[in-house]
């Protein structure tokens, strides 16, 4: 009776081992195959051929009726490369106190907080080593003209065409401050701009852009 019980236990253990040997490798193979199949599928989903990526984000989508031969990316490019739109916003930082330059306190305080300027023995302000490395400044004698921000295209709002060759564009733009502009604690909000585009022999070109004056 005792031998019969031991035999049953041995047979039970052998059955368990047989089940493990038969089914576990197959399950492991399935688990290992899943990530590989997912990876192959992900690779297969990518389009073939040369893919060109731009560091400039595309304009935010909005329902705008573009004339033939013009799209959102082309319009954004024309506005962004225009010298009037690309001109930076600057602020005057006086070299000594007291001064009569209106609004200079903001840029002075910003430069001081960043430790880009320091006071000299004679009481005048001078750019520090970090200031010389990080600040775009033009010497104008009694003051520096400091770059604080640049315009950033947001999106087109509407396009109204008087003729097939001339259209008025309403668009949004906003200031993109550098570290000095950020230290000035600006209230950033989109501004409305206007542009005139004309269609010529080489395609659409920007003939005028305006409403670019706004405080930071």
Q: Is 207 helix (H, G, I), strand (E, B) or coil?
A: strand
Q: What is the pLDDT of residue 179?
A: 97
Are 177 and 149 contacting, i.e. CB atoms less than 8 angstroms apart? yes
Q: If you search the block for the tokens 């236990």, which residue do you land on?
A: 9
Are 186 and 216 contacting, i.e. CB atoms less than 8 angstroms apart? yes
Are 91 and 146 contacting, i.e. CB atoms less than 8 angstroms apart? yes
For the chain, percent of residues with pLDDT exceeding 90: 64
Q: What is the pLDDT of residue 63?
A: 84
Q: Encoding tokens for residue 69?
A: 């031969």
> Comparing 131 with 27, which gets the higher pLDDT?
131
Is the pLDDT at 33 greater than 50? The verdict is no
Instruction: Express each pLDDT in 198-214 by its tens digit.
Output: 999 999 999 999 999 99
Confidence of residue 114 (pLDDT cuts 50, 70, 90): very high
Other CB atoms within 10 A of residue 89 CB = 21
Q: What is the pLDDT of residue 49?
A: 44
Q: What is the pLDDT of residue 102?
A: 74
**C-alpha triplet 48, 54, 58: angle, nearest 5°:** 105
pTM as predicted: 0.68
> Comparing 100 with 158, which gets the higher pLDDT?
158
H or E segment at 210? strand 203-210
Instruction: Express each pLDDT in 34-83 by its tens digit.
Output: 544 444 544 455 444 444 444 455 555 458 999 999 999 999 999 999 99
* Phi, psi (deg, nearest 5) at residue 84: -70, -40
Q: What is the pLDDT of residue 2?
A: 56
Instruction: Express each pLDDT in 153-177 by its tens digit.
Output: 999 999 999 999 999 999 999 999 9
Tell me the CB-side half-sphere exposure of residue 185, using CA atoms within 13 A.
Answer: 6
- DSSP state for residue 197 in the 8-state scheme: E
Other CB atoms within 10 A of residue 205 CB = 12
- Give the separation between CA 29 and CA 150, rounded to whole angstroms: 57
- Give the separation between CA 102 and CA 80, rounded to whole angstroms: 30
Q: What is the pLDDT of residue 14?
A: 73
Is the pLDDT at 187 greater than 90? The verdict is no
In 3D, which of 40, 39, 65 has the Cα closest to residue 167? 65
- Give the separation between CA 38 and CA 61, rounded to whole angstroms: 32
The mean per-residue pLDDT over the stretch 116-121 comes to 94
Q: What is the pLDDT of residue 214?
A: 92
Is the pLDDT at 32 greater than 50? The verdict is no
């Amino acid at each position: 009776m005792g031998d019969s019980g031991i035999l049953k236990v041995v047979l039970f253990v052998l059955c368990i081992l047989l089940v493990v040997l038969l089914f576990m490798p197959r399950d492991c193979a399935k688990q290992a195959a899943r990530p590989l199949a997912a990876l192959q599928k992900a690779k297969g989903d990518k389009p073939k051929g040369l893919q060109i990526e731009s560091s400039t984000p595309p304009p935010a989508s909005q329902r705008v009726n573009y004339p033939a031969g013009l799209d959102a990316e082309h319009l954004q490019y024309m506005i962004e490369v225009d010298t009037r739109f690309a001109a930076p916003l600057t602020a005057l930082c006086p070299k000594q106190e007291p001064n009569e330059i209106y609004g200079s306190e903001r840029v002075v305080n910003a430069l001081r907080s960043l430790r880009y300027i320091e006071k000299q023995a004679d009481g005048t302000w001078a750019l520090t080593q970090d200031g010389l490395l990080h600040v775009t400044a033009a010497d104008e004698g009694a003051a520096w003209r400091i770059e604080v921000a640049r315009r950033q295209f947001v999106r087109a709002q509407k396009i109204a065409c008087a003729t097939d060759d001339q259209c008025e564009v309403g668009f949004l733009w906003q200031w993109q401050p550098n570290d000095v502009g950020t230290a000035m604690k600006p209230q950033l909000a989109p501004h409305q701009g206007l542009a005139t585009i004309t269609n010529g022999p080489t395609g659409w070109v920007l003939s005028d852009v305006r409403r670019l004056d706004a405080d930071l």
